[in-house]
Amino acid sequence: MPVAQPSHEDSAERPRDKSETEGRKGQQKRGRRTRREEFLTDRYSHVAVYREFIPFEQMSNACCSDRLGRGTWRTTLPMPGNGSGNDLLYPALHSAPQRPVIAQIQNLDMSAVNQYIATMTIYLPILRDSSASKADRIATAIAADIKSGTLKLREKLPTHRDLASRLGVTPGTISRAYALLERQGLLIGEVGRGTFVADPHGPLGDLLVSGPDQTEARPIDLAVNRRAAPWVQTALSQTLQALDRERAWGMLMDYQPESGLDRHRSALASWLGQQAFEVDPDRLILTAGAQHAVFLVFSVLASRGDVVLVEDFTYAGFKALADELGLRLEPVRMDADGVDPDDLERCAKATGAKWFYTMPQVHNPTGAVLSHGRRREVLRVARKQDFRIVEDGVYDFLSSDRVAPLAAMDEERIFYVTSFSKSLAPGLRAGCLVSPTEWVDRIARAVRRSMWMIPALGVELCARWIADGELDRLLVKQREELSRRAETLKTALKEAAIVTPPGAAFAWVRLPPEVTSSTVVAHSRELGIKLAPTEAFAVRRGLAGQFLRLNLSACDTSEELGKALRLIAPLLSGESMARAYY
């Protein structure tokens, strides 16, 4: 609805200068109406009040136009019990302090507008001149207002369309700015409600790190791989019951060696051996998942400011980790066959980088699989330029192709990390790091210093499943289910350019030139579908808008996945961009 501008009970009380008068006449001559004129002409009979901006004790019957904050004005509103006939306003507002409340005022005419002006929040960030992109400048301005307190905790921000209109940019630019702030934990988007300033002490709701959505209207999640399938839950229940019958809890609840129990390390080493990767258990360190393993390597061996080579797109969690440790990421070009070895060599020479982080078997988010020839070339470049490689194999167990990882070809240059979080359940937090021999003790000490030991329960479950063959059966079911979901994807998105390697829990979609990923993400949210912003994965600027990752595993059923895909299909093809929501 139109928003009333600050006014006075008697317009004569405030003399207008000549320039203001001429400006108002000029607007009228051009046939344009001010927002106040729209309000008066349309004769709206509703008043919207934002309780969190205007404390009631500050309101009075005296006419005023104090500016309380950027875009926020306080004007006359009758208090309860003053005989105005509008006593119903106060209880309604008082009962819901966090939401805009619509209150009915009968017989609102032009004179009444001057007496009972609506109070409304119109937030507008102030952008500074900069060479940065518009989205970055908007995000920087909003972040500054949050930190300064101009924007309060849980305050609702304008819609993408509204803020875009006020700033003279596209809704996609606002979507990108909001996505940047969500990744920083400053904003939180809630399906059906809008975008709010996040609580730094509460759940941030980040698409890529949060738990299941707790809002009343649960969205369909195509953003994060987080689902523990029913057969995994059944196996978990049965194994826990067996542990109870055997009274094995005491040993598992005791202190453990920093590298993990010998039998646990031997079990995981034998399992990796079945995956075409022979591992000495003495080189294996148990970790609380693959992310923990990567953190151990870089926190122990890298220094703040070190350059780490990564593909054009990389795992969002690693971008966050690098930011935490002060590492500088340098993008290396890639294509459908993975990283380009020639560009890898060029970047290593140009930057002097001593690290390369990669996912050669099932690359997240692109799904690229590094060819055998390129694997040899990558190792040649690493030896020539003398940099180490951290190989993330967290999705390797889901791949139906038993391909030896890079670490099998060079034991002294490559750190291999993996876990069961993506292949079985994220809550297991059972993983390992296979390290070059010379660094094993130093990394193990870091485990002890940071968390003393790895909790043994999750690793015990996996070790038992390895021993009795249950792990093989579980992974076969996971691959079959993901294969069915990949077929659902292809059926729903027949015309889309999609990459889905066998066993992958996600798909990589190339968008038409007229469609941008940020716009699809924003529109999908209005449909109740959660998508990961591509900016979360992009390292090289300018590429994020062309692609989108769709997660296949978080939905409870293939039917739910199909429903979500059919809803967003028109967005991915560009058919519905001209109409709809913005």
Cβ neighbors of 411 (< 8 A, separation 6 or more) are 283, 436, 437
pLDDT at 175: 87
For the stretch 95-141, pLDDT in tens is 333 333 333 333 444 444 444 443 345 789 988 887 778 888 898 89
Give residue 140's domain range: 134-206
What's the pLDDT at 25? Answer: 47
Confidence check: pLDDT of 13 > 90: no
Tell me if 521 sits within 8 A of 193, measured CB to CB: no
Confidence band (pLDDT; 50, 70, 90) for 215?
A: very low
Give the domain-ending residue among 468, 487, 510.
468
Which of 115, 145, 176 is at the close of a domain? 115
260 and 401 both lie in a single domain: yes
More confident residue, 68 or 536: 536
pTM here? Answer: 0.66
**For residue 149, what pLDDT band results from cuts at 50, 70 and 90?**
confident
- Reported as a pLDDT band with limits 50, 70 and 90, residue 292 is very high
Average pLDDT, the chain: 78
Average pLDDT, integer, range 384-413: 91
Asked if residue 178 and residue 294 are part of one domain, the reply reads: no
In terms of pLDDT, which residue wins out, 108 or 189?
189
Q: Are residues 438 and 450 in the same domain?
A: yes
Q: What is the CATH number of the domain that holds 288?
A: 3.40.640.10
List the structure tokens of 147: 């930190």
Nearest one of 27, 129, 117, 123 to 64, comparing CA atoms: 117
pLDDT digits (tens, 9 = 90+) for 319-335: 999 999 999 999 999 99
Asked if 490 contacts 498 with a C-beta cutoff of 8 angstroms, the reply is yes
Q: Which residue has the tokens 């119109």?
A: 122
Indicate whether 157 and 56 sit together in one domain: no
* pLDDT of 380: 97
Q: Do 464 and 479 belong to one domain?
A: no
Q: How far apart are CA 364 and CA 315, in angstroms?
A: 6
The pLDDT value given to residue 192: 66
Taking residues 241-259, report their average pLDDT.
89
Residues 354 and 464 in one domain: yes
pLDDT score for 189: 79
Q: Has residue 121 been placed in a domain?
A: no
**pLDDT above 70: percentage of residues in the chain:** 74
pLDDT tier for residue 87 given thresholds of 50, 70 and 90: very low
**Do 374 and 408 lie in a common domain?**
yes
Looking at the 3D structure of the chain, how many domains does it have? Answer: 4
Question: CA 375, CA 172: separation in Å to the nearest integer?
Answer: 38
Identify whether the C-beta of residue 68 lies closer than 8 Å to the C-beta of residue 74. yes
How confident is the model over 238-258, as a mean pLDDT?
A: 90
